[in-house]
Amino acid sequence: MTPTSRRGPLSEGSISLRLYPHVGLSAEEMVGELRHQAVLATEAGFDGVMTSEHHGGFAGYMPNPLQAAGWLLEAMPTGWAAPCPLLVTLRPAALVAEEVAWLAARFPGRVGLGLAAGSLDADFDIAGLTKDDLTPRFATALAQVAGALGGTEAGLLADDPAVARCASHPVPVVSAAMSPTAARRAARLGVGLLFDSLSTPERVRALADAYHDAGGNRPCVLVRRVWMGAPPTAHVDRQVKRYRAYASPGAQTHWQGEQMVAADRSATLAEELAAVSARAGVDALNLRVHVPGVAPATARDQIAALGEVVTTLQGWNHAKTGHTWSS
């Protein structure tokens, strides 16, 4: 499939794929499969891919999403990659900004970044850190990274050539948000929003509205599980149960079911995704087929099958007269 036009990292109308390592493979095989699926995604029409972070062998996640994004970009002839989210509270914010800026210098126009505070205790234990004052720590780090990569406030990084480049070539940044306060913070800092895969469209709409009311004007990205055909319900239910085991009570208040979007026909799946996007008031989609228990061959088949869905949504967006993906 050939997309109507390739959209930049975390941009309005972009449709990207979440990539996760497959449980049961060796480390070498995991890296190879990730790279192969990234190439398949761009061939299918996805604008880009995302990687995300947990540590200690947490099933289906990478401990190094920024490094993994570099591996994928080396393999992908086109398209973008973003560590999204990267848990910025586990590392010095200035080093995150430097490393992302240099990756963007290596792959101009093909790098984005999403940041989150993190919530899994094991991640902080492994890093030798605590979750004390987590919210203010995240707010400070987000401001520092956004300022450096947005080219507005380099601070002590002003003499770094890659960071200085961001003044004319900013790297798009989004922030994970699960509360109106987080949404307003992102608006104030000039970054977009990333919404998790389990929040209802109505909750996402409330947060997106809070963001826009506060002056936010960057894309809002919705993560959604998708499946062509009969979905792997047992695998998804098991993963959702694991998420609930460590998520904050506040987050779980707005989680209902698995929020899976599945259909037997690409046209129907595209229509349902467009409807969910409209209800949520978002500008971009990040789709997920991976879950522990899904075999690499099955994931590859799903990526290929979603090509027609992506192309349909991009076509609607290209010809839109109102909301993104409105047919």
Residue 292 in domain:
yes
CATH number, position 212? 3.20.20.30
The pTM assigned to this predicted structure is 0.92
The tens digit of pLDDT for each residue in 115-172 reads 999 999 999 999 999 999 999 999 999 999 999 999 999 999 999 999 999 999 999 9
pLDDT > 90 in the chain, percent: 82
- List the domain range (segments joined by +) for residue 141: 15-318
Q: How far apart are the first and last CA of the chain?
A: 20
Identify whether 311 is part of a domain: yes
Count of structural domains within the chain:
1
Q: Does residue 7 lie within any of the structural domains?
A: no
CA 287 vs CA 72, 227, 309: distances in Å: 17, 9, 11
Q: Is residue 164 in a domain?
A: yes
Residue 97, pLDDT > 90, answer: yes
Tell me, what amino acid is at 132?
A: D
The verdict on residue 324 lying in a domain is no
Residue 325 covered by a domain: no
Q: Do the domain assignments include residue 246?
A: yes
pLDDT tens-digit readout, 33-65 = 999 999 999 999 999 999 999 999 998 899 999
pLDDT per position as a tens digit, 169-204? 999 999 999 999 999 999 999 999 999 988 999 999
Looking at residue 317, its pLDDT comes to: 74
Asked if residue 2 is part of any domain, the answer here is no
Who has greater pLDDT, 235 or 276?
Answer: 276
